[in-house]
Amino acid sequence: MNNILISILGPTAIGKTALSIELARHFKTDIISADSRQFFKEMHIGTAVPEPEELAAAPHHFIQHLSVEEDYSVGDFEREAIEKITDLFKKHRVVVMAGGSGLYIKAITEGLDDFPEVDPSIREKLNENLQKKGLDWLQKRLYILDPEYYKTADVQNPHRVIRALEICLATGKPFSSFLNKNRSEREFETIKIGLTAERSIIYDRINRRVDKMIENGLVEEARKLYPKRDLNALNTVGYKELFNYFDGIWTLETAISEIKKNTRRFAKRQLTWFRKDEEIHWFDYKTPPKVIIAFIERTQRL
């Protein structure tokens, strides 16, 4: 009987946390977070970290275990999370993973892609261009060199844009041509459960979540992090817009509006990424957990 990793995924604000807790309680197991921004302990409100009562409802791992000042890559996550999952399978046949960071989910379920070594001077030049010409200039270059990757990439993240561009420039080939070449063998089976809804519903849930974050103190949280704004972890929707407010570039009203707009764009990119994966079993976000549990038990013979 194989061990089973249940991966709960979908766009932001769709209800992944609640479902993952229901599944963890039913299967009496632990939850691995695959949300790359919930790793950082200083970013609580703006990353929608589960509430204390939710964290107490089932054991969680990889939530607020790092400082924003620590460098932490998807490769670090793959190594540490696989080690944790392997350990959990000594006690449980089922482990739950939840999150909306497609690359981090892929790292666990399939493994990361192999990329060629790149001359460090290429990255240095791109970082120089970022400072002098801005992110828009880099985004346009990526669109020209790899339009396929541009469609699904988090192009608001300069680290991701520069990483793709340096591969394009070093090899003369699109970054996307190196993706999905070597799927790692895992010692467990994965069933992917996706939650979704009509786009208007997703957008409304996002807007209401942002309003709740503001009400809960997001502005104050961002203000404390403002002196560290140049850290990669803080180049995140919900914080970078408020940094512009603190700089006097935007009003608070404009910053909040931009948070909502950029979160909606992020959700759209998440759906574009996930819908390319034919292994995902999609459910409406209102589907009762017991229906999803029955589906998992039936298909995985649990």
Express each pLDDT in 127-138 by its tens digit.
999 989 999 999
pLDDT grade for 183, boundaries at 50, 70 and 90: low
The mean of the pLDDT values for the chain is 94
Dihedral pair phi/psi, residue 59, rounded to 5°: -65, 130
Strand order in the sheet with 94-98: 60-61, 31-33, 94-98, 4-9, 189-196, 280-284
The residue among 294 and 177 whose pLDDT is bigger is 294
Which residue numbers belong to the known binding site? 10-17
The DSSP call for residue 40 is B
pLDDT grade for 1, boundaries at 50, 70 and 90: low
What per-residue confidence (pLDDT) applies to 154?
83
Q: Which stretches of 30-133 are assigned E, i.e. beta strand? A: 31-33, 60-61, 94-98
Whether the pLDDT of residue 10 is over 80: the answer is yes
What per-residue confidence (pLDDT) applies to 152?
83
What per-residue confidence (pLDDT) applies to 209?
98
The residue among 218 and 2 whose pLDDT is bigger is 218
Interatomic CA distance for residues 140 and 31, integer angstroms:
39
Which amino acid, 65?
H
Interatomic CA distance for residues 59 and 20, integer angstroms:
11
Contact indicator for 232, 48 with CB cutoff of 8 Å: no
Whether the pLDDT of residue 200 is over 90: the answer is yes
The domains of the chain are located at: 4-112+184-300, 120-178
Tokens of 64: 């607020």
The residue written with tokens 């400082």 in the block is 67
Query: Which residues touch 40 (CB under 8 Å, ≥6 apart)?
Result: 47, 64, 66, 67, 68, 233
Interatomic CA distance for residues 109 and 121, integer angstroms:
33
The CATH superfamily label for domain 4-112+184-300 reads: P-loop containing nucleotide triphosphate hydrolases (3.40.50.300)
What per-residue confidence (pLDDT) applies to 157?
86
Interatomic CA distance for residues 292 and 160, integer angstroms:
34
Express each pLDDT in 188-198 by its tens digit.
999 999 999 99
Express each pLDDT in 92-150 by its tens digit.
999 999 999 998 999 999 988 888 888 888 988 999 999 899 999 999 999 999 999 99
The residue among 1 and 24 whose pLDDT is bigger is 24
> If you count them, how many residues does the chain have?
302
Report, as an integer, the average pLDDT of 46-57. Answer: 96
Which residue numbers belong to the known binding site for ATP? 10-17
Whether the pLDDT of residue 184 is over 80: the answer is no
Whether the pLDDT of residue 159 is over 80: the answer is yes
Interatomic CA distance for residues 165 and 171, integer angstroms:
10
Interatomic CA distance for residues 190 and 238, integer angstroms:
32
The residue among 252 and 182 whose pLDDT is bigger is 252
The DSSP call for residue 197 is -
What per-residue confidence (pLDDT) applies to 166?
93
Report, as an integer, the average pLDDT of 24-38. Answer: 97
Percent of the chain with pLDDT over 90: 81
Report, as an integer, the average pLDDT of 266-280. Answer: 93
Query: Which residues touch 124 (CB under 8 Å, ≥6 apart)?
Result: none
Q: Which helix (H) or strand (E) holds 238?
A: none
Domain 120-178 has CATH 3.30.70.2610: no
What per-residue confidence (pLDDT) applies to 219?
98
For the packed helices 102-109 and 252-274, what is the interaxial angle rounded to 10 degrees?
30
Which residue numbers belong to the known binding site for substrate? 12-17
Residue 73, SS3? coil
